[in-house]
Chains A and B, each alone.
Chain A
Amino acid sequence: MTIRLKPVDAVIIGFGWSGALLAEALSGAGLTVLALERGPFRDTAQDFPPSRVADELRYAVRHDLVVKPAENTITFRNKTSQTALPVRALGSFLPGSGVGGGGVHWNGQTWRFRPSDFTLKSRALARYGKNFLAPDLTIQDWGVSYDELEPFYDRFEYLCGISGQAGNLRGARLPGGNPFEGARARPYPTPPMAMPYAPTLFADAARGVGYHPFPQPSANLSQAYTNPFGVVLGACSYCGFCERFGCGNYAKASPQTTILPILRERAQFSLRTQCTVLTIAHDGKGSKARGVTYTDDSGEVFFQPADLVILSAYTFENIRLLLLSGIGAPYDPASGKGVVGRNYSYQTTSSVALGFADKLLNPFIGAGALGMVIDDWNGDHYDHGPLGFLGGAYLAALATNSRPILNHPTPPGTPRWGAAWKRAVAKSYLRSMRILASGSSLSHRGAYCDLDPTYRDRFRRPLLRLTFDFHPNDLKMSAFATDRLAEIGRAMRPEWLVVDKREAPYSIVPYQSTHNVGGAIIGADPTTSVVNPYLQSWDLDNLFVVGASAFPQNASYNPTGTVAALALRAAEAITTRYLRAPGPLA
């Protein structure tokens, strides 16, 4: 028996960054807003006190803040001809569950995409010609430009108090910032973080090679900051327990540390945790969403009517809920037709490990987004023609994740155990570092999501099935970027150096990034996109699908800055236009 609840103006599915940003905007506009979150309630004082969070086993190894595969997972295969199998233990990515979502245990590397990223396809066609692109690439323009998103990037950075150095202030180049970034209206709200030794060595070497290093824009704050809502964030203490952890210092921007305190004061906002949304109810294409069906820990099923439905449950669950609810035409890889599940893409990462005989790096001094970066091989400011690939990578040295269970580097040739291993670990731990290339990922015909025919979740619903492998374009890009990275590494004059290339097939096992994007993509054309440039469903105009699921392909940067900018832009379109005249916004 489904229990019918009292209607609300807006129901929000999932309370991560996307859900929290929409909840603030909609409740701020006076709507009654209910957020449904499948995971538990969590907040800094009760769940992340410094006396408890510095626990590598619990959080980094056993994944305490991450969704449990027993509750929900996906199935995976590299290509359509294989049988997809369940991801039984998470590896390659670690999506969140619980209040704050992945915004609790993220690193906080807070990027804007470059202007050229939003017109990747038309630009490539114009600059390199039709024959340059492999025929199975399905990349497309976003239908929204950098200039349109700039005010919303700005708003998110000031909400969080991002620490960084501007490189392009209204067209003026500033020293020490990223010379390749799009123009920004304001500088970063707080100055860059203090830089530890390893990133400094990287930056010196990169400068020597002729590159333009700058500090990673960071949601781990260099100093205390009061955001526009009056919420106060603390200063980062460089504790080293950041990615996969909640922050005990209120120093990492998260939904909890930036938005939740004011939402809790608003009578028109409510949040129900341990509530999993099962489907979105509607009367077919061209109608409206009527609300959502969800279940809580008691096993009871509820119907929550709502005038607006915000789907912000992260890429995989956004796609799955659309498919389970029969919203939008499912993508068919054979014909290339259909949209839901189309254009999944990821991040093409690689790294180089280095060890020094004479340098004490003290890698335990760290944060999530602490480091130096070069953007010289990113975007499209250099000629890709002779290189034969599209896309690029940022190269960085981040002082992060050097806790010893998962990180105890040894020089090449060291045995895996025994006395020699022990001596090598003892010598190397304080003297080793890793530098990385974070590369773009182009969408292609064989990379997509649909429903698995065999495996089901605990509510007996089909799991989402992911079919993905790296496109040759991206492997070529990655090989090039990794070579440049290794050159910088060698210029640092280490005692040893090991190059970890990215190779096919893509493996679900080693952690790479939780930058799963696409599948419900943004666009100007309903035959090749799920949502319009305001994240509004083409099929149901009161449904907005918010998150990285909107990316038509992935740039090299971490996604959340762009996720937030798209979300804030959608929120503004809803509150200033849609509420006045409900209907298609594009």
Chain B
Amino acid sequence: MRRRDLLASSAVIALIGCAAQTPESGLQFFTPEEAARVTAIANRLIPADELGPGAGEVGAARFIDRALAGAYGTSRDLYMRPPFLPGVPSQGAQSPLTPAVRYRVGLAALDAHCRAAFAGRGFVDLSGQEQDRVLADLEQGRIAITGGGRAFFDLVLRDTVAGFFADPQYGGNQGMAGWRLIGFPGARYDYRDVVARHGEPYHLPPVALA
């Protein structure tokens, strides 16, 4: 953690305090613009195709929005006492930046990058191919973001995948699209009658908790 990041993070924490409340959209953390960007990103990370819908279409932004508004977003359950020292990779992440801060900063920086690189167009205004190129740059660490561009990409990818495969009660994986894609039966909870039927397809559709 560099000093510059620390300063930036306290500035952002102040910013979070006045995060937009938009009850009409049901958002708890994101602004509608941020949610639109997350939806667009998720639809490139797990795109719609002949196999089924994209992650953004089945609720990635809602899933991440709710997670960021809760314990996950604020790192409530993690050890967050200072000092934050750099360390080596085997010691695990050492950063005061919470996921909520990373998204707020990262989404803004990503959009600013797009507007500078694509004549004023933001991420959502780009073509799918352009979006893929931006995401690849982000993944490769070629876009500077507080806390690290690559780390931000990894965070969004991890959360998008989590939302796509988590129980639909959390806002993503609507229609159990993620589970249908791969053949995961969800919360069926009882396979005694099929455990020894080796190699046979499982025919029952998935079920969710809620």
Binding partners A and B: yes
Interface residues of A (CB under 8 A from B): 50-52, 54-57, 61-63, 68-70, 73, 76-78, 82-89, 91, 194-197, 200, 235, 237-241, 248, 359-362, 364-365, 403-405, 408, 416-419, 421-423, 425-426, 429-430, 454-456, 505-509
Q: A405-B165, A416-B157 are in contact. Are A54 and B90 (CB under 8 A)?
A: no
Q: How far is the CA of A429 from the CA of B165 in the complex (A)?
A: 12
Is A239 a contact of B94 with CB atoms below 8 Å? no
Is B81 a contact of A456 with CB atoms below 8 Å? yes
Residues of B within 8 A of A91 (CB): 92
Q: A238-B191, A408-B165 are in contact. Are A360 and B92 (CB under 8 A)?
A: no
Known interface pairs A362-B202, A364-B184, A418-B132; 15 further A-B residue pairs with C-beta atoms within 8 A, sorted by A's residue number: A55-B209, A56-B166, A57-B166, A57-B170, A69-B77, A86-B79, A196-B195, A239-B188, A404-B179, A416-B157, A418-B45, A422-B46, A423-B49, A429-B182, A455-B79
Residues of B within 8 A of A508 (CB): 90-92
13 inter-chain pairs at a CB distance below 8 angstroms, sorted by A residue, are A70-B77, A73-B79, A83-B87, A89-B79, A89-B92, A197-B199, A404-B165, A408-B182, A422-B47, A422-B49, A423-B49, A426-B182, A508-B92
Residues of A within 8 A of B200 (CB): 360, 362
- Which residues in window 165-204 of B have CB below 8 A to A? 165-167, 170, 178-179, 181-192, 194-196, 198-202
Residue of B nearest to A56 (CB): B166
Q: Which of B157, B181, B194 contacts A362 (CB 8 A)?
A: B194
Is A89 a contact of B78 with CB atoms below 8 Å? yes
Residues of A within 8 A of B209 (CB): 51-52, 54-55
Q: Which of B93, B166, B187, B190 contacts A88 (CB 8 A)?
A: B93
Q: How far is the CA of A241 from the CA of B192 in the complex (A)?
A: 14
In the assembled complex, the CB of A512 is this many whole angstroms from the nearest CB of chain B, namely: 12
Is residue B89 within 8 Å, beta carbon to beta carbon, of the partner chain?
Answer: yes
Q: How far is the CA of A360 from the CA of B183 in the complex (A)?
A: 11
In the assembled complex, the CB of A63 is this many whole angstroms from the nearest CB of chain B, namely: 8
Is residue B76 within 8 Å, beta carbon to beta carbon, of the partner chain?
Answer: yes
Q: How far is the CA of A240 from the CA of B194 in the complex (A)?
A: 13
Interface residues of B (CB under 8 A from A): 44-47, 49, 51, 71-72, 76-81, 83, 85, 87-94, 132, 135, 139, 157, 161-162, 165-167, 170, 178-179, 181-192, 194-196, 198-202, 209
Is A423 a contact of B201 with CB atoms below 8 Å? no
Is A507 a contact of B183 with CB atoms below 8 Å? no
Most buried by A among B45, B72, B188: B188
Is A455 a contact of B166 with CB atoms below 8 Å? no
Is B185 a contact of A509 with CB atoms below 8 Å? no
Residues of B within 8 A of A238 (CB): 190-192, 195
Residues of A within 8 A of B196 (CB): 194-196
Q: Which of B45, B71, B179, B189 contacts A248 (CB 8 A)?
A: B189
Residue of B nearest to A57 (CB): B166
Residues of A within 8 A of B91 (CB): 76-77, 84-85, 87, 508
Q: How far is the CA of A247 from the CA of B80 in the complex (A)?
A: 32
Q: Which of A239, A408, A418 contacts B161 (CB 8 A)?
A: A408
Is A417 a contact of B45 with CB atoms below 8 Å? yes
Residues of A within 8 A of B194 (CB): 362, 365
Is B94 a contact of A426 with CB atoms below 8 Å? no
Is A239 a contact of B189 with CB atoms below 8 Å? yes
Residue of B nearest to A64 (CB): B77
Residues of A within 8 A of B80 (CB): 70, 88
Q: How far is the CA of A309 from the CA of B189 in the complex (A)?
A: 41
Residue of B nearest to A200 (CB): B198
Q: Which of A86, A237, A421 contacts B189 (CB 8 A)?
A: A237
Q: How far is the CA of A87 from the CA of B76 in the complex (A)?
A: 14
Q: Which of B49, B94, B161, B198 contacts A85 (CB 8 A)?
A: B94
In the assembled complex, the CB of A471 is this many whole angstroms from the nearest CB of chain B, namely: 16
Is A429 a contact of B90 with CB atoms below 8 Å? no
Residue of A nearest to B95 (CB): A88
Residues of B within 8 A of A237 (CB): 189-192
Residue of B nearest to A362 (CB): B202
Q: How far is the CA of A85 from the CA of B196 in the complex (A)?
A: 47
Residues of A within 8 A of B157 (CB): 416-417
Q: Which of A76, A82, A359, A417 contacts B199 (CB 8 A)?
A: A359
In the assembled complex, the CB of A47 is this many whole angstroms from the nearest CB of chain B, namely: 15
Is A78 a contact of B161 with CB atoms below 8 Å? no
Residues of B within 8 A of A241 (CB): 189
Most buried by A among B45, B199, B201: B199
In the assembled complex, the CB of A150 is this many whole angstroms from the nearest CB of chain B, namely: 32
Is B79 a contact of A239 with CB atoms below 8 Å? no
Q: How far is the CA of A547 from the CA of B144 in the complex (A)?
A: 48
Q: A52-B209, A56-B167, A417-B157 are in contact. Are A69 and B188 (CB under 8 A)?
A: no
Residue of A nearest to B169 (CB): A55
Residue of A nearest to B185 (CB): A364
Residues of B within 8 A of A360 (CB): 199-201
Q: Which of A78, A194, A196, A422 contacts B51 (CB 8 A)?
A: A422
Residues of B within 8 A of A57 (CB): 162, 166-167, 170
Most buried by B among A68, A238, A423, A505: A238
Is A404 a contact of B178 with CB atoms below 8 Å? yes
Is A507 a contact of B190 with CB atoms below 8 Å? no
Q: How far is the CA of A52 from the CA of B208 in the complex (A)?
A: 10
Is B167 a contact of A55 with CB atoms below 8 Å? yes
Residue of B nearest to A92 (CB): B92
Residues of B within 8 A of A89 (CB): 78-79, 92-93
